[in-house]
């Protein structure tokens, strides 16, 4: 058994042409994201029962402030290096490391000084020490070996798997152990979070031979920051849009409401989050290598969109339907307030999945400014809608504000930009989305009929709906493929062939 496992791992080490490397890389990225997310969701479920919404809300405040400082100081160093067509980027790494360390020190200092003010804003004195403690995380990350950027640039995602998953495993084990054996407070999550960065720091130097030095190349810095300035703007605006709602909920309603809202977001968007991370991690470096061949870039984009919708659409529909039974079965009755927001946010998660398919095209073709400009539109609309909807409907209104903006005008705007970027037609995009949309609709109809006809305990209901959903979607896909020659079978066979080579 062990020999077979070793053989499988060796077989999946990226090799061959770009298609084979991308396919095998996707397996590694998907595996890392699936295992990592399952570990995190399991940890969140355990902590939800052990420490409750109030303590989880405190963690949410600390993470919110950390995320804000990280986004406002993001200069896109990694993206700038990956975007370079040259294979050897060693001359950028020392400069990258110095800038990375300085950024970590700056974030930690800002968090230490700002912590009391944060506590006052959210009227939660206990947040002060938590915010200061979590400031250790960017310090540790800043010291990380910059050579790990080669893992993504060269599509060596098996090494990235080891680097990232090691931190996830460490975080879950330490956080749960702290909650079980030390104290059932917000500290369990914070200690685990910081420990994850410490573990990844050590691993980064064990799995890559590059050793950074204190050296700043002005030309290299100019190149990196010149590309990354749009990443900075996009990161700031993305924070205001993606987590501005969290900050508003925490300040307007309170930490407990923040816990309900963040859990609704995390569990509803978990599949979308992992899928988008896989898509972004693999497609950006691949598209960067194809940027000089626009026809091949367009063809690859459409195949990627087909596979993304094939997975994202049924998962989003399924999560919305199983949400009530899932929350009661795994989190407990005290978390039922998150059910309706969770169902609404699955739609937002679906839009995120689609957007992450064309986002890497803009970055790879040298137009990261599109992200910034679109984010500015999102932030403006969110600022207009969030107060009246939250005031009227609580966190359900917040979820409606975020989701409705994605539906219109963001998706139409993004489709217009991708059409002009690679000369793809709307009809071609619609063709890739239509089949999984029909299959997901048939699956959802069957699940709703079953759910209204049969009464089961929450856990059994969740399991039954999950199994039935997979079966119904599989049958629907098979019928569509055989009847209309959708093409998904050819994509899956191509993936299998690339894995076997």
Contact 420, 430 (CB under 8 A): no
Contacts of 83 (CB under 8 A, 6+ apart): 227, 284, 288, 363, 364, 366
Q: How far apart are CA 194 and CA 57, in angstroms?
A: 18
Contact 255, 126 (CB under 8 A): no
153 inside domain: yes
Q: How far apart are CA 133 and CA 115, in angstroms?
A: 10
Query: Tokens representing 343?
Result: 């169902």
55 inside domain: yes
237 inside domain: yes
The structural domain count of the chain equals 1
Q: Which residue has the tokens 């930490």?
A: 255
Query: Tokens representing 464?
Result: 């039954």
pLDDT digits (tens, 9 = 90+) for 412-469: 999 999 998 888 999 999 988 999 999 999 999 999 999 999 999 999 999 999 999 9
Q: What is the DSSP letter of 182?
A: T
Q: How far apart are CA 458 and CA 349, in angstroms?
A: 24
Distances (CA, A) of 137 to 30, 142, 168: 25, 9, 14
223 inside domain: yes
Q: What percent of the chain has pLDDT over 70?
A: 87
Predicted local confidence at residue 3, as pLDDT: 52
Q: How far apart are CA 480 and CA 472, in angstroms?
A: 12
How many other β-carbons are positioned within 10 Å of the β-carbon of residue 460?
Answer: 12
Secondary structure (DSSP) of 88-154: --HHHHHHHHHHHHHHHHHHHHHHHHHHHHHHHHTT-TTHHHHHHHHTHHHHHHHTS-GGGHHHHHT
Q: Which residue has the tokens 């540790």?
A: 140
Query: Tokens representing 86?
Result: 């040259």
420 inside domain: no
Predicted local confidence at residue 204, as pLDDT: 95
Predicted local confidence at residue 43, as pLDDT: 96
Predicted local confidence at residue 7, as pLDDT: 52
Contacts of 318 (CB under 8 A, 6+ apart): 443, 444, 447, 465, 466, 469
Q: How far apart are CA 120 and CA 127, in angstroms?
A: 9
Query: Tokens representing 23?
Result: 């396919």
Find the angle CA(36)-CA(347)-CA(259) to the nearest 5 degrees: 60
496 inside domain: no
How many other β-carbons are positioned within 10 Å of the β-carbon of residue 152?
Answer: 22
In angstroms, the first-to-last Cα distance of the chain is 22
Which parts of the chain have pLDDT scores under 50? 1-2, 5, 8-9, 11
Q: How far apart are CA 99 and CA 126, in angstroms?
A: 32
Contacts of 7 (CB under 8 A, 6+ apart): none
221: containing domain: 40-242
109 inside domain: yes
198 inside domain: yes
């Amino acid at each position: 058994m062990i020999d077979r496992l070793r053989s499988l791992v060796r077989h999946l080490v990226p090799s061959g042409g770009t298609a084979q490397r991308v396919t095998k890389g996707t397996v590694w990225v998907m595996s890392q994201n699936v295992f990592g997310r399952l570990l995190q969701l399991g940890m969140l479920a355990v902590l939800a029962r052990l420490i409750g919404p109030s303590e989880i809300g405190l963690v949410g405040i600390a993470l919110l402030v950390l995320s804000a400082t990280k986004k406002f100081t993001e200069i896109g160093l990694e993206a700038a290096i990956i975007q370079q067509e040259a294979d050897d980027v060693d001359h950028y790494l020392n400069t990258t490391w110095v800038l990375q360390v300085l950024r970590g020190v700056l974030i930690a200092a800002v968090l230490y000084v700002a912590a009391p003010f944060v506590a006052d804003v959210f009227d939660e004195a206990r947040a002060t020490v938590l915010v200061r403690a979590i400031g250790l995380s960017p310090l540790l990350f800043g010291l990380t070996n910059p050579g790990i950027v080669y893992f993504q640039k060269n599509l060596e995602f098996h090494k990235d798997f080891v680097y990232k998953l090691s931190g996830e495993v460490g975080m879950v084990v330490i956080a749960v152990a702290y909650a079980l054996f030390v104290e059932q407070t917000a500290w369990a999550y914070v200690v685990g979070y910081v420990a994850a960065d410490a573990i990844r720091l050590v691993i980064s130097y064990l799995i890559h031979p590059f050793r950074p030095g204190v050296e700043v190349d002005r030309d290299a810095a100019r190149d990196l920051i010149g590309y990354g300035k749009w990443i900075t703007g996009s990161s700031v605006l993305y924070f205001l849009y993606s987590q501005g709602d969290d900050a508003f909920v925490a300040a307007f309603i309170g930490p407990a409401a923040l816990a309900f809202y963040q859990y609704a977001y995390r569990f509803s968007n978990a599949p979308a989050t992992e899928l988008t991370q896989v898509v972004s991690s693999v497609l950006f470096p691949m598209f960067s290598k194809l940027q000089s061949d626009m026809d091949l870039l367009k063809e690859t984009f459409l195949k990627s969109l087909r596979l993304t919708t094939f997975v994202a659409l049924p998962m989003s529909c399924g999560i919305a339907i199983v949400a009530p039974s899932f929350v009661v079965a795994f989190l407990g009755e005290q978390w039922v307030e998150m059910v309706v927001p969770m169902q609404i946010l699955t739609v937002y998660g679906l839009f995120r999945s689609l957007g992450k398919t064309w986002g890497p095209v803009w970055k790879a073709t040298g137009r990261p400014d599109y992200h910034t400009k679109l984010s500015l539109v999102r932030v403006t609309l969110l600022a207009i809608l969030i107060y009246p909807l939250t005031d009227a409907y609580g966190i359900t209104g917040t979820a409606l504000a975020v989701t409705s903006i994605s539906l219109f005008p963001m998706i139409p705007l993004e489709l217009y930009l991708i059409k002009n970027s690679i000369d793809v037609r709307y009809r071609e995009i619609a063709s890739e989305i239509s089949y999984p949309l029909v299959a997901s609709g048939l699956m959802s109809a069957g699940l709703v009929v079953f759910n209204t006809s049969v009464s089961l305990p929450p856990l059994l209901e969740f399991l039954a709906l999950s199994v039935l959903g997979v079966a119904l979607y599989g049958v629907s896909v098979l019928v569509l493929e055989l009847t209309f020659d959708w093409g998904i079978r050819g994509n899956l066979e191509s993936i299998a062939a690339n894995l076997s080579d």
